[in-house]
Structure 1
């Protein structure tokens, strides 16, 4: 019962703190982490002692798959250079810098342990950054670069981390052995994710019941992650490739009555997992702090703060270097590129969006009990994760506002294009139908098309406002019938569901 009660307390805390963050117009990840850290030192503070492997599967797998499913493959291809520079070079430079600094401060730390520390601190948690970015509507390209980075940076860092931990157990670290292993694991993971996507997608499409379909989707998500772990592959790469592949296809793979509840459930679950993960991050300072001897707390704490400054500085320096080089390359081109260069302002935003998260902390907690400098590594992981969440998380929004980066409006243009194309297809389908009903539909959709061309939102159009008013009147009428006993709940719920669909059709997505 204690675990269940603790979980209820955490979920209630998530709801309350999320509402407070919304009222304060502040990012909820930072507020949750601060509250968790404060609660960790209270008497009888809640503890949620989960195995690190379970933490990764529970908190990372569904969020990662959901992000991969929503990722635009077109935009990922268009931004492969900046995304690749973050996933490979920024992670590699951060790992090397942290490892060198750790070895300088503690000369007796094995290089394998130092590299493991650098690897687990290297990957930013873009979920926290995106939670802030959604509030300020940043330029489209900046958001897509951060989304692309969030899909893959955990893969490169966790692979280096696993190789480094294995090297400590083997008594040495060999680059000539690590690089081929890295390449084979990445390639094998991508192949497995791609191969499994098709049969799983076919199986999901055979199910005609929404609850069963959603359950199967989550079982597939966790099962895929665990399978990759058992095969010695990268669960991150496998999940990302699986999500990207399963999302590609016809728009009618799932009927609307399955897709709408599925998306709603996934949105709720991923939000809860993200929020609980940030709260758990704060709570971890209790057991980490208690494991340190009094003399270690100051020395390890100061070294951890140095690592915090180092990981922030390395990312900023690399991103700014890339942004400046890209701007100079674009200036030399004769034609205007389809994607505008990042520039100094864009580089500052991406460089400052380097908050660390649950992956770094879970990797630190998963180290063997006899791992060299384990207590220091865990404390450093907490300091870096907590420090970046609070400092960068709370200042990212004011920074974007101060830089005054203009909104590019790229998505708005594409939404208008898609609406016009869809409406023209509707009108074309009724051209040869002489019936009065078809004439009424043509008249209505022609009016919608003309308004869309003028930039008007569908939800604001007069006919939709009338429909919403009609739905409200209809809801009142059937509620009166149920109250009077003229209809039962079965009939009421069926008509209510029909009115729900009609109401949804009057709102823009």
Structure 2
């Protein structure tokens, strides 16, 4: 490996660590620091193949983000995510392309649209970090995260289409749409298939080190296989990550405990490196432009930057109104279908409700007004929340990586001077949005008073309800186990069991309770392993209850994960206590 890459990585991690310690935006600080370092004459130029950079950075970043997304929230917000992740990228690409073509006609329309596709997809990394810190509502965080998961696929597809047109290929609108549909279907199919395989591996292997290592490699395989088959590698990785994340509660607790810190470290390392690498390239690209092209490039960069800032809020507000209108139409249709279902369940017009009820019954969920609202209604966003969504359009890793890959994407189809202009514009848009939007988003959120107080109250109600159900289910489990202990150990075993059960219901750790009973009088009594086994069964019953409540729509996925973390900590304490020799 080139030692210069190691230096870049170490330096980027050091600056990123400083930014995290001080609470500053790490991507912005790393980029600025890299630009300043590149101005030192003794610093050599670091070159990496753009396609290689894209294929090495995107899969793990997308996979780790998909693991954390709430599948239930994603599904409910899917119309909004689809509008932002597909519609907004296309509109931005066209608007930027037309403006760039008007300012610099020699770019040609395909070249200008290629620029629009590169700067089209926002990156939610910075916005999500700010949102989590300030407590943005989950409905808003889901929209931001979901958008960033699918807009990369839209952008990459557009980039390939416009690059092919530049190279002389004949591409019609319908062929472009067909290419996009094939990319979606093939990508999602490959991702789900590999997600099933990976999940089965995670369930059956009890070695977290091996499972974690395989998890690090599989995203690259999913990306490469989907791309080779003509699908979207981005959507393959996203589909796989969402499937594995949704089913993570069914895996071993040690695997879950290892996943999050592992992927947080990978994300931090890759994002730091990309921003540092691009920052190091920026001054060199500007110098290569020459003074005669600098003026035009500055005008083009500022114009594209302005278009990117203006298009997003216009689209967000217009698309939200359109989505509410379509939602109203769907509600009317479902009301008619529901009325028909109540009169005649076998009537053809009652088919949507009938099919929905059958699916819900298979999951053990009752068809009622609440479940229908979850099916029909997107989460409502206030005017203030829409303002935050409109301003959270910072560009990031994908735009920078595509800019770095421009020479390979265009080949000989575009003059080198035009390629350099497009790279400078992409850099300016990325750094400009990080500076302007990244530094002002937090004050805007505070100024508008956007918070998640209503969600916190609802979460507290859900937690109280599910803990009560956990207690009832746990009591039923303990009653069943008590009979087995009495049969095996007699009345003495039943006495020990009753004391242990009371301790467990007081949420005392099983290890502490077992230690207490180790001091009991002589006679037939259960051993330590019996008590640990009982405790593990108690934990597993509670986990199953949480999953059931999530599947029935009574418990948010994010809340379920927090409760799972607490239960996992109890099992870790049990294992740790079990590893200590007992006298």
Task: With the length of structure 2 as denominator, give the TM-score of the two structures.
Answer: 0.72
Alignment match, 1:286: 283
Aligned counterpart for 1:356 among listed residues 372, 391, 395 = 395
CA deviations over 1:385-412 (Å, ceiling 9, x no partner): 1111121111111110110013244363
Structure 2 residue 416 is matched with structure 1 residue 345? no
The question of whether the paired residues in 2 share the 8 Å contact of 1:120 and 1:360 is answered with yes
Q: Report the equivalent of 2:441.
A: 396
Q: C-alpha displacement at 1:416, in angstroms?
A: 4.6
Specify the SS of the correspondent of 1:42: coil
What is the CA distance between 1:369 and its match in structure 2?
Answer: 4.3
Give ranges in structure 1 of 5+ residues lacking alignment: 449-462, 471-497
Counterparts of 2:286 and 2:235, CA distance in 1: 33
> Residues 123-162 of structure 1 correspond to what in structure 2 (within 5 A)?
123-162=121-160
Find the partner of 1:214 among 196, 212, 215.
212
What is the alpha-carbon distance in structure 2 between the residues aligned to residue 425 and residue 40 of structure 1?
63
Once the two structures are superposed, residues 9-43 of structure 1 have per-residue CA deviations (whole angstroms, 9 ceiling, x without a partner) of 533442344334432x3322222222222222223
* 1:287-332 residue CA offsets vs partner (Å, 9 max, x unmatched): 3223212221222022111101101110111112234556788999
**What's 1:370 paired with?**
412
Q: Which moved more, 1:152-161 or 1:428-437?
A: 428-437
**What corresponds to 2:573 in structure 1?**
502
1:257 aligns with 2:254: yes
Q: Distance in 1 between matches of 2:453 and 2:575?
A: 29
Counterpart for residue 501 of structure 2: 442
- Matching residue within 463, 468, 476 for 1:428: 476
How far has the Cα of 1:110 moved from its partner? 1.9
1:454 corresponds to: none
Superposition misfits of 4+ residues, deviation over 6 angstroms = 327-338, 503-506
Cα deviations across residues 390-440 of structure 1 (Å, max 9, x unaligned)?
211111111101100132443633445444444443333212416344333
Q: Which residue matches 2:346?
A: none
CA contact (8 A) 2:121 2:399 kept: yes
Which stretch shows the higher mean deviation, 13-22 or 400-409?
A: 13-22
SS in 2 for 1:45: coil
Alpha-carbon distance in 2 for matches of 1:139, 1:280: 34
1:451 is aligned to none
The answer on whether the counterparts of 2:203 and 2:252 sit within 8 Å (CA) in structure 1 is no
Contact 1:34 1:390 in 2 (8 A): no
Q: Does 1:203 align with 2:201?
A: yes
Aligned counterpart for 1:297 among listed residues 294, 311, 326: 294
Gaps of 5+ in 2: 333-368, 487-493, 516-568, 578-583
Q: 1:307 aligns with which of 304, 308, 312?
A: 304
Aligned partners of 1:121 and 1:356 also within 8 Å = yes
Between the two proteins, the alignment pairs up a number of residues equal to: 459
RMSD value, Cα: 3.1
Distance 2:165 2:195 in 1: 33
Alignment CA distance shift 1:323-1:343 (3 Å): farther
Query: Does 1:15 find its partner at 2:18?
Result: no
Say if 1:428 and 1:320 are closer, same or farther in 2 by CA, change over 3 A: same
Give the secondary structure class of the aligned counterpart of 1:284.
helix
Alpha-carbon distance in 2 for matches of 1:200, 1:20: 35
Of the two, which has the highest radius of gyration?
2
CA contact (8 A) 1:112 1:173 kept: no
CA positional deviation for 1:502: 2.1
| 1:192 and 2:190 aligned | yes
Who is 2:268 aligned against?
Answer: 271
1:270 CA displacement: 1.9
